[in-house]
């Protein structure tokens, strides 16, 4: 049998209330799974890309099954040629059934990272993202944190009443106040400031200095003497993915990869319900996590499959 026949990755096709699941794996034989939408979910495979509508596919998933969700859904009035475009006035109504299913399938200890950026219409910022956050809170989601993705190589431009967009939101939602988080996985070098700031410490630096504004935060600078790593802030300085020209709005693989490291451990299950060209699946494979991706466009399923295939495995064989 040729190598090309041994390695087979196919997308999952949603037809006639059945999902044909083909697991991404390297094996001597093909692994094909068929799951009825109304089944008991016992044979739902991992490390797979599902070709279908996110809401319909999610409805076939079991409760509390996913460790972490990270995605960037179609923005309002964007990607009209490929995704049809969703009007800002209809966006909340469109997304709430999906966020309800995401909440159901996410484990109580899991997190949901939601990358989105509102656009400009008739000279003012759209409000559908703010409206969506409020409605998701009514669903029972906790809006835990907001991260900023600073695009280090954003495109130049000029507008009469604003400057170019160089950042996007990455909202964090949770089901519970206590959730899995592995901060040590994303620590960064202390930086040059430590060489001078920690060289000579005053008496104030050697005790906990409580916040003067009542925030509850405090600091004892002497605790950082001799350390080489520090915890990062909530602004991620990442370049857009110039190498991925097949998808008009692909976020860089480094973005989901950073969040995957922060909120999961090896072999956890990562879900991206709007997979696009596959950055989340690639990041999951790169970090030794299992993944499920859902994508409504067949051509992007094929691109994602090829990207995952080209990504070397990390650690144990998760495709067993």
Q: Which residues contact 33 (CB under 8 A, 6 or more apart)?
A: 20, 21, 22, 23, 43, 44, 45
In the chain, pLDDT over 70 holds for what percent of residues? Answer: 68
Collapsing DSSP to helix, strand or coil, 95 comes out as helix
pTM value surpassing 0.85: no
Residue 79 has pLDDT above 80, yes or no: no
Specify the range with the lowest mean pLDDT, choosing from 15-29, 67-81, 195-209, 252-266: 15-29
Only one residue has tokens 């992007």, namely 300
Q: Is 226 left (phi over 0), alpha (psi -120 to 50) or beta?
A: left
The CATH fold of domain 46-201+218-295: Rossmann fold (3.40.50)
* Band (92; pLDDT cuts 50, 70, 90): very high
């Amino acid at each position: 049998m040729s190598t090309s026949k041994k390695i087979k990755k196919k997308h999952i096709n949603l037809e006639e209330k059945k999902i044909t699941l083909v697991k991404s794996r390297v094996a001597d034989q093909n692994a094909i799974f068929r799951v009825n939408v109304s089944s008991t979910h016992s044979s739902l495979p991992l490390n797979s890309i599902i070709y279908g509508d996110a809401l319909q596919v999610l409805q076939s998933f079991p409760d509390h099954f996913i460790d972490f969700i990270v995605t960037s859904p179609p923005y309002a009035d964007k990607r009209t040629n490929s995704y049809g475009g969703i009007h800002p006035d209809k966006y909340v109504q469109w997304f709430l059934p999906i966020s309800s299913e995401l909440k159901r399938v996410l484990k109580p200890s899991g997190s949901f990272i939601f990358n989105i950026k509102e656009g400009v219409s008739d000279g003012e910022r759209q409000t559908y993202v703010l409206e969506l956050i409020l409605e998701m809170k009514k669903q029972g989601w906790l809006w835990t944190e907001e991260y900023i993705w600073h695009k280090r190589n954003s495109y130049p431009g000029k507008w009469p009443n604003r400057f170019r967009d160089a950042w996007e939101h990455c909202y964090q939602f949770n089901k519970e106040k206590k959730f899995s988080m592995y901060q040590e996985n994303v620590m960064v070098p202390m930086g040059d400031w430590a060489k001078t700031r920690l060289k000579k410490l005053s008496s104030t630096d050697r005790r906990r200095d409580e916040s003067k504004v009542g925030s509850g935060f405090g600091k004892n600078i002497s605790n950082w003497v001799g350390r080489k790593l520090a915890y990062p802030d909530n602004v991620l300085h990442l370049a857009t993915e110039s190498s991925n020209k097949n998808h008009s709005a692909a976020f860089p693989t480094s973005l989901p990869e950073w969040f995957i490291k922060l909120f999961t451990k090896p072999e956890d299950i990562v879900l991206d319900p709007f997979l696009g060209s596959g950055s989340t699946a690639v990041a999951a494979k790169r970090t030794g996590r299992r993944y499920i991706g859902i994508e409504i466009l067949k051509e992007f399923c094929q691109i994602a499959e090829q990207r995952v295939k080209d990504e070397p495995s990390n650690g144990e064989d998760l495709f067993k």
